Amino acid sequence: MPKISHSALRRQFRELLATPTCVETASVFDPMSARIAADLGFEVGILGGSVASLQVLAAPDFALITLSEFVEQATRIGRVAQLPFIADADHGYGNALNVMRTVEELERAGVAALTIEDTLLPAQFGRKSTDLISIEEGIGKVRAALEARVDPQLSIIARTNAGVLPTEAVIERTLAYQKAGADGICMVGVADFEHLEKIAENLTVPLMLVTYGNPKLHDAQRLASLGVRVVVAGHAAYFAAIKATYDSLRAQRQLTHSTSNLSATELTHTYTLPESYVAWAEEFMDVKE
């Protein structure tokens, strides 16, 4: 199969953003999953920051993974990708200057697009893990990301959390990021279509939603009519792989039952030790939700 250039894949993604349709991403976490997703006809994939943390560190999504570790995984995927894929670049791994480094590295890795969020990461002493940076700092990160890219086809998508702020504040942020030049706006925490309609009313750039399968946002045609072009419903493929690995190894050890009643979510919770990380955050950082 002839390899598609990174620039061509980026053009494909931009063409997708320009269409009046809404598609769901495939969760791609290694070269094999990227090849499978492309073969099955997915229009776009995504390398989630939480998934990378699980795969590389077996750790919960507490902003523990480093840029170099994330880029290594993105590079492995980019080496074989036959579909455009988005990199969930979290907060850009630091301030605006770190964001520039993040864009440079991920562009070389072959991503078609990347999201930069305005969450205050990693969690700060005495602050909630969902706190956001100021709009001014968020704008600076968007502008820095745009300055750092070399290939103009690379899409820079500004992300914010619509679930932790009043709707008016979300509108203010998304409009500011659009004005700063973001190629798209990504949101997590949108509650329902009424919430989305209020936010999207004055936006003209393409939208991306992280819905985690929210049943109140399941109408693809209605999403498309509101400017949503990409939906991230979750990362079921990777969690299914965790479950399959566990069940396969249990069978190999000839345990009483070849499968267990533990779900993929329960297995992930068991083996990433989230209670320890929460306790450490409370003890050393006074981070309490």
Neighbours of 181 (CB within 10 A): 15
183 annotated as belonging to a binding site for a ligand: no
Helix axes 135-148, 167-179, angle to 10 degrees: 30
Beta bridge partners of 57: none
88 annotated as belonging to a binding site for a ligand: yes
Whose CA is closest to 239, among 22, 33, 31? Answer: 33
For Cα atoms 247, 248, 252, give the angle at the middle one, nearest 5 degrees: 115
> CB-based burial of residue 265 (10 Å sphere; 0-12 exposed, 13-18 middle, 19+ buried)?
exposed
* Helices of type H across 40-161: 49-57, 67-80, 96-109, 135-148
Tell me which amino acid residue 190 is. V
What is the per-residue DSSP string for 240-277? Answer: HHHHHHHHHHHHHTT-SSSS-S--HHHHHHHHH-HHHH
159 annotated as belonging to a binding site for a ligand: yes
Query: Are the beta carbons of 131 and 31 closer than 8 angstroms?
Result: no
Numbered residues of the known binding site for Mg(2+): 88
Numbered residues of the known binding site: 50, 88, 159, 235
Numbered residues of the known binding site for substrate: 50, 159, 235
